[in-house]
C-alpha cells in the first residue's frame, strides 16, 4: 500500500552547507534539508528549479527521519529545513520520529516568513532556531517587488511571533542553540525598502534577534515568469549606503554579506552536487 499523500513530502537535497551565518555553521556545516515547492514564488528565486520546477522525490516520514539522522552522523551542527512552510504537518512528524530515534541537534526553520500564526503555533514546540528571510515590512514594496501585498503584514506578525518564542542562546563554542536570525535580501534600486526594514528591526528586534543582510541579489530569469525584476547587481554605492543605515540605527550585532557580483555561485539542482565543493557537501540527493 502506498503512503497517503498527507504523510509524504517532496525534497531535493540534504547537505552540509557552509554558506549560512557563522553561528549556524561553525566548522561543521548546517544540515540543510531542501524541500521542493514554495508558498511565495519570488520572481527571481535562485532555487527556482526546486521551488517552481519541483525537482525532488516524495519521501515518507520515516525516510525524512533517516535523512535527518544521516545529517547528524555526517557532523551537521543543526537540521535546517529550507522552505518547508507547505509541509509543516509532515515535518513536525519527521522531527518527532527523528528525536525518538536519537536526533539531538537543534532544529532550524528557514523560511520566507510568509507564515500563518496558527501554523507556527503547531511548529513552535519542534523548532529551536528561526531563520526567516524577511523580504520587506511594507505592503507597497511587497506588491511592487514580490507581487503579494499581503506578505508584509503577515511576515511582520510571523517574525514577531518567532522572536517572542525563542530567545537568543549560544553554546560554549558560539554556536546558536536557540533564537532568531532575520535575513533580508537587499534589492538593487529598492534601498528604501531596506531602510524601512532596518528601521523596523531597530524598533522591534534589536537586542532580541540578529539581523543578517544579504547582498547576493542576482537577476535570475525563471522560465515562464513574466513579472519584471531588477536587471542589475547591487552597486558599491548602494552597499555603502546600507552600511551607513546600520550605523544610523546603531545596529552592530549581526551580519552583512560581502559585496560580490556574478552568478557562478548559483546552485544547479540537476547536478549531483548542486553547490560548489567549498560551499556544500551532499549527504542525500533526490
| Domain CATH for 232 | 3.20.20.70
Identify the helix (H) or strand (E) that includes residue 155. Answer: helix 151-165
Asked if residue 276 belongs to a domain, the reply is: no
Q: What is the pLDDT of residues 11-68, one digit of tens each?
A: 999 999 999 999 999 999 999 999 999 999 999 999 999 999 789 999 999 999 999 9
Nearest of 163, 156, 157 to residue 124 by alpha carbon: 163
Asked if residue 281 belongs to a domain, the reply is: no
Asked if residue 286 belongs to a domain, the reply is: no
Range(s) of the domain holding residue 33 = 5-271
Asked if residue 102 belongs to a domain, the reply is: yes
Asked if residue 77 belongs to a domain, the reply is: yes
Query: CB neighbours (10 Å) of residue 250?
Result: 9
> What does the alpha-carbon distance between residue 286 and residue 275 come to, in Å, rounded to a whole number?
14
- The number of helices, as runs of H, and strands, as runs of E, in the chain is 9, 11
Asked if residue 13 belongs to a domain, the reply is: yes
Residue 5 confidence (pLDDT) above 70: no
Domain total of the chain: 1
Residue 2: per-residue pLDDT: 52
Asked if residue 279 belongs to a domain, the reply is: no
pLDDT above 70 as % of the chain: 98
Asked if residue 129 belongs to a domain, the reply is: yes
Amino acid at each position: 500500500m502506498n503512503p497517503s499523500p498527507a504523510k509524504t513530502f517532496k525534497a531535493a537535497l540534504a547537505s552540509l552547507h557552509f554558506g549560512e551565518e557563522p553561528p549556524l555553521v561553525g566548522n561543521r556545516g548546517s544540515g540543510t534539508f531542501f524541500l521542493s515547492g514554495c508558498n511565495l514564488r519570488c520572481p527571481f528565486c535562485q532555487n527556482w528549479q526546486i521551488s517552481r520546477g519541483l525537482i525532488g522525490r516524495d519521501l515518507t516520514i520515516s525516510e525524512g527521519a533517516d535523512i535527518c539522522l544521516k545529517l547528524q552522523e555526517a557532523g551537521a551542527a543543526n537540521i535546517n529545513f529550507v522552505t518547508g512552510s507547505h509541509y509543516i504537518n509532515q515535518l513536525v512528524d519527521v522531527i518527532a520520529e527523528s528525536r525518538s530515534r536519537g536526533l539531538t541537534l537543534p532544529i532550524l526553520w528557514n523560511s520566507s516568513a510568509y507564515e500563518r500564526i496558527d501554523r507556527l503555533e503547531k511548529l513552535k514546540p519542534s523548532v529551536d532556531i528561526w531563520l526567516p528571510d524577511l523580504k520587506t515590512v511594507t505592503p507597497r514594496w511587497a506588491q511592487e517587488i514580490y507581487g503579494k501585498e499581503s506578505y508584509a503584514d503577515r511576515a511582520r506578525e510571523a517574525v514577531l511571533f518567532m522572536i517572542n518564542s525563542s530567545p537568543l542562546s549560544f553554546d560554549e563554542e558560539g554556536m546558536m542553540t536557540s533564537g532568531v536570525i532575520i535575513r533580508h535580501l537587499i534589492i538593487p534600486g529598492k534601498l528604501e525598502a531596506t531602510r524601512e526594514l532596518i528601521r523596523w528591526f531597530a524598533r522591534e528586534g534589536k537586542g532580541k534577534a540578529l539581523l543578517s543582510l544579504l547582498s547576493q541579489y542576482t537577476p535570475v530569469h525563471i522560465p515562464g515568469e513574466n513579472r519584471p525584476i531588477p536587471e542589475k547587481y547591487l552597486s558599491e554605492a548602494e552597499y555603502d549606503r546600507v552600511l551607513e543605515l546600520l550605523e544610523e540605527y546603531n545596529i552592530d550585532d549581526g551580519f552583512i554579506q560581502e559585496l560580490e557580483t556574478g552568478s557562478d555561485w548559483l546552485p544547479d539542482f540537476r547536478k549531483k552536487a548542486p553547490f560548489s565543493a567549498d560551499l556544500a557537501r551532499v549527504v542525500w540527493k533526490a
